[in-house]
Amino acid sequence: MTRIPLLVQRAVGGPKPFAYVVVYAPQYKIRGKRIRLFLDTGANDSTICETDAKLLGIVHKKLEKPRTFKGVTGCTIDGYPLQNVTLRFRDEDDNVISIDIPEIYALKCTQKSKTAIEASKSIPSILGVQFLLDKKFKFFYDPSDRISYIERDDET
């Protein structure tokens, strides 16, 4: 059994589960930068927010044509696909668990209004439900006791 603890932290709307991961994608010159991902079961796709994209050194104009996302903030955001990215988690015994994901989107606000730009800054990087399904993880979340984790049976 692989169990990856998540941190329950305060965010907009109350306590939310977050994973801290180290991102590797040498083909995009991303070599071991740490970001925080909100585990969002209401989102299908996994995304890297604009702030984290800058931290990772992602150059949007060098990526493939974006897909348009409509954020909960109401602003339209372009998501540029990054393929074959490795996320490194720590399990409950502090072992490094590397998980390859086929696609994650680097977000960039394309609207020019100050309101839209500010709203886009409130969007976190997200680990979507498709990650859980594809990697066969179960999700446990108890916000009152501030306990959260994902787990799966070890592959044989």
Instruction: Say how many residues make up the chain.
Output: 156
- Among residues 30, 41, 153, the alpha carbon closest in space to that of 83 is found at 30
CA 126 to chain centre: 3
Q: Per-residue pLDDT tens for 68-116? A: 877 656 677 889 999 999 999 999 999 999 999 999 999 988 777 676 6
Q: Which residues have a Cβ under 8 Å from the Cβ of 118 and sit 6 or more positions away?
A: none
Q: Total structural domains in the chain?
A: 1
Instruction: Say how many C-beta atoms besides its own lie within 10 A of residue 82's C-beta.
Output: 25
Token digits for 35?
Answer: 């970001």
pTM of the model: 0.90
- Domain range for 21: 2-152
Write the CATH number for 80: 2.40.70.10
